[in-house]
Structure 1
Amino acid sequence: MTPAARISAAIGILDHVLAGLPAEQALLRWSRSSRFAGSGDRAAVRDLVFDALRCRDSHAALGGALSGRGLMIGGLRAAGRDPAELFTGQGHAPAPLGPDDRPGTAEGIADIPAWIQPLWDASLGDRASAVADRMRQRAPVWLRVNPIKADAATAVDALAQDGIAAEADARLPTALRVTAHERRLSQGRAYRDGLVELQDLSPQLACAALPLVAGMRVLDYCAGGGGKTLAVAGRAPGLTLVAHDADPARMRDLPQRAERAGVSVQVTAAPRGVFDLVIADVPCSGSGTWRRTPDSKWRLTSQGLRDLAAVQAQILRRAADLVGPGGHLAYMTCSVLDGENGAQVDQFLAENPGFRQVSRQSWTPLEASDGFFLSLMARG
């Protein structure tokens, strides 16, 4: 596909997204109907779509319309390119520019939904603008080294043999940042043999802050794919690891991932007994990960956010019942909004005097990678 043809494809996909279809579904639908597109074409079109969604409102302003066409025109203008060079109408290129494609101004547009902006500003204070700007950029790819099978140097060498460039991060011995050819990861030996797992730096830092000692019973209460279960597995010997999720289907790959990592994990639909550590990475707005899932910020509604807050409070209460005397409860979100983070924890602590907060930490793309929150609480 030519660059202009890729833009035409992105325009069609974006029009479906703007009509309400999730971006991943829209991309999959296009891919299935476009067998002529090679892997490089699919990757390039995906990048065009996600870059446009990260900067939806500002690119729409620069492109003259909130449409797939407007977003592509605005994206080219934002990059300092003349859209007329690609919008030629020749072959599979989009139609030439017309009067409706005149540029507006993107000044003052933060690419944060207007109704969220006050919550964003109140939560992030003087960092709000800088974090919003960082959310317009692609997120880096991070890997977590599995200490059961490798150290950072060994993992970097194995990745290099797979044609993947990565570098260690001084903040955490297990953290590697991929610097080139990340799309080769799933086919590489380092990943297949369990030396590394995909995991962003911020949740890695959060997991590294958890109190783990030999022989503990640990429950990952909202396990999903099990990333945090596997992250704590190699940090202390003899851990009993139990994974639970309200939707068991989310954990379907966990047994295979655990086997690849050399870890034993019990997967359960109904946790029993009490635990020394309960991790509750609750469903949230995902506002800290909007670089990775940019269409989700435009699909979130105020009612949806209120519903999430109610679910979070319910999960906290249920997870707390599973914490044994002297045990810890780790409340986590991938959000930067205080209503899901500090305010949620403060309300829980006010209603549960048997718990006290040990520490509270948050990360943003300015000092780590994804936006992430951790409150570590102790019982008794």
Structure 2
Amino acid sequence: MTPGARLAAAAQILDEVLAGSPAERTLTNWARGARYAGSKDRAAVRDLVYDALRRRRSLAWVGGAGTGRGLLLGLLRLAGTDPASLMTGEGHALPPPTPEETGRALSDAPEAVRLDLPDWLLPRFQAALGDGLEPACAALAARGPVTLRANLARTTRDEAQARLLAEGIETHPDPEVPTALRVTAGATRVAQSRAYAEGLVELQDASSQAAVLRLPLRDGDRVLDHCAGGGGKTLAMGALKRLTLAAHDADARRMADLPARADRAGLKVDLAADPARAAPYDLVLVDAPCSGSGTWRRGPDAKWRLSPDDLDRLCALQDRILDEAAPLVAPTGHLAYATCSILPEEGDDRVAAFLARHPGWTPVDRFVARPDDRGDGFFQIILRRAGPGR
């Protein structure tokens, strides 16, 4: 495919996404039908689509329209590329820009447009981020880093880095998270590498790794990952201490790959359909379903789909899950509540509401990460349960 044809394909996909189709599914369907597109073409089109969705409002302003074509016009202009050089109308390229498609200067845009936020979310982001509002929004408008977790149960970070380098994968150790390696070259080789196949490394964002390292884990503890999903945090906990691990998810299909991943990592994990049967646990981790606002650069269409009613429903779900998880914790045990959100409604507000409903719990640790070039946005608070007679 020529660069102009890639641009045209991205515009078509974007129009479907803007009409309500999920981005990932739309890209997959296009790739299945576009047998003429090689792997490099598919990757380039995917990058165009996600780059446009991350900056949907600002690109529409600069491009002159909230269509796939308009977003790509804005993307090219802000990159300093003359759209007419790729939109030639020749072959499979889009038609040339018209005099009506001049767009507007981004400096003239309202704040929510410049920061690529829905209007209703701007005050919430301002309250959560304060002076960090613009840097966080800039991070969410850029591609996220690819980060690996060294499995310390099987290797050291230095050894994992050397093994990866031998396979053409260059990494940089995170200066603050001792398990994290940021991939700087060769990211597409990770999944096929021997280091990955042998369980020496797993894909995991640095903020998530940092949160796991703060958990009160001791050898012999019984630990439940209550909203396990794919089990990334289950495996991260198991790499730190000798634990009896259980994982549960309301949709067990999300854990389908966890047994194979655990075997690769040298761990045993019980998939608990009813975690109450094996309660109590020394630690219950609730990484609750949320807006994902701290990770929107990885799934940017979610930012534009979220509504105030959706947020209210998520908060009610988070309350319900916490209420279900709390009785599973042993006396003097810990309950960790986490979300990949930077919205206070899904973080401190939920913890305050929980403490009002459940006396006898004490906050012992709070961790907040804002999205930046090292990691995603994340929230975690650890609560300790009072012992008998207290």
TM over 0.5, yes or no?
Answer: yes
AA aligned to 1:294 is P
* C-alpha distance in 1 between matches for 2:300 and 2:317: 23
Q: Is structure 2 residue 115 aligned with structure 1 residue 110?
A: yes
Tell me the secondary structure at the aligned position of residue 31 of structure 1.
helix
TM-superposition CA deviations, 1:195-244 (whole Å, max 9, x none): 1000000010000000111100000000000000000002112x100000
**In structure 1, distance between residues paired with 2:217 and 2:309:** 37
2:274 equivalent to 1:274: no
Partner residue in 2 for 1:371: 377
For residue 366 of structure 1, report the CA deviation from its aligned partner: 3.7
1:38-88, Cα deviation, whole Å (9 max, x unpaired): 111111110000000010010011111000000111000011111011110
From 340, 347, 352, give the equivalent of 2:353. Answer: 347
Given residue 317 of structure 2, which amino acid in structure 1 is its aligned partner?
Answer: V
Tell me if structure 1 keeps the 8 A contact 2:5–2:94: yes
Residue 212 of structure 1: aligned partner: 217
Are positions 1:324 and 2:330 aligned together?
yes
The alpha-carbon deviation at position 155 of structure 1 amounts to 0.8
Shift of the alpha carbon at 1:161?
2.1
1:138 maps to what in 2?
Answer: 143
Q: 3-state DSSP class of the match of 1:298?
A: helix
Match of 1:195 in 2: 200
Tell me which of 229, 252, 259 is aligned to 1:255: 259
Q: CA deviation at 1:367?
A: 7.8
User: What residue number does 1:30 align with?
Assistant: 30
The alpha-carbon deviation at position 172 of structure 1 amounts to 2.2
Q: Could you tell me the TM-score, scaled by structure 1's length?
A: 0.98
Take 1:126 and 1:349, find their aligned partners in 2: how far apart are those partners? 29
Take 1:139 and 1:110, find their aligned partners in 2: how far apart are those partners?
17
Secondary structure at 2:317 match in 1: helix
**Matches of 1:234 and 1:295 in 2, distance apart?**
33
1:264 is aligned, of 255, 268, 287, to 268
CA-CA distance at 1:173 after TM superposition: 2.1
Identity %: 53
Matched letter for residue 256 of structure 1: A
Partner residue of 1:292 out of 291, 295, 298: 298
- Deviation per CA, 1:149-181: give whole Å up to 9, x if none: 111111111111221111212212211000012
Letter in 1 for 2:198: D
Q: Contact 2:245 / 2:268 at 8 angstroms: preserved in 1? A: yes
Aligned runs of 1:66-105 on 2, under 5 Å?
66-105=66-105
Aligned to 1:377, the other structure's residue is in SS state strand
Which residue type is aligned with residue 286 of structure 1?
G
Residues matched between the structures, number = 379
Report the secondary structure of 2:120's partner residue.
Answer: coil
Q: In structure 2, what is the Cα distance between the partners aligned to 1:55 and 1:8?
A: 18
Q: Secondary structure at the match of 2:260?
A: helix
SS in structure 1 opposite 2:57? helix
> C-alpha separation between the residues in 1 aligned to 2:79 and 2:68?
17
Preserved contact between residue 63 and residue 104 of structure 2 (Cα < 8 Å) = yes
Amino acid at match of 2:353: Q
TM-score (norm 2): 0.96
Deviation at 1:100? Answer: 2.9
Aligned equivalents of 2:135, 2:174: Cα separation in 1: 23
Q: What letter corresponds to residue 244 of structure 1 in structure 2?
A: H
Q: Corresponding residue for 1:233?
A: 238
CA deviation after TM superposition for structure 1 residue 128, in Å? 1.4
1:8-87 aligned at under 5 Å gives the runs: 8-87=8-87
What is the rounded CA distance, in whole Å, between the counterparts of 1:29 and 1:236 in structure 2?
A: 42
Segment drifting more, 95-104 vs 340-349: 95-104
Root-mean-square deviation (CA, aligned residues, Å) is 1.0
Shift of residue 256, structure 1, vs aligned partner: 0.4
Shift, 1:368, TM fit: 4.6
Give a deviation string over 1:179-202, Cα, whole Å, max 9, x none.
012111111111111110000000
Q: Aligned equivalents of 1:151 and 1:63: distance in 2? A: 48
Letter in 2 for 1:54: R
Q: CA–CA distance in 2 between the matches of 1:164 and 1:44?
A: 20
Tell me which of 182, 186, 206 is aligned to 1:177.
182
Amino acid at match of 2:381: S
CA distance in structure 2 between the partners assigned to 1:250 and 1:276 by the alignment: 24
Aligned structure 1 segments of 4 or more residues deviating by more than 4 angstroms: none
2:139–2:373 Cα contact (<8 Å) kept: no
Q: 1:277-314 CA deviation, whole Å, 9 max, x = no partner? A: 00000000000001111111001111111100000000
Q: Does 1:158 align with 2:150?
A: no
In structure 1, distance between residues paired with 2:374 and 2:62: 31
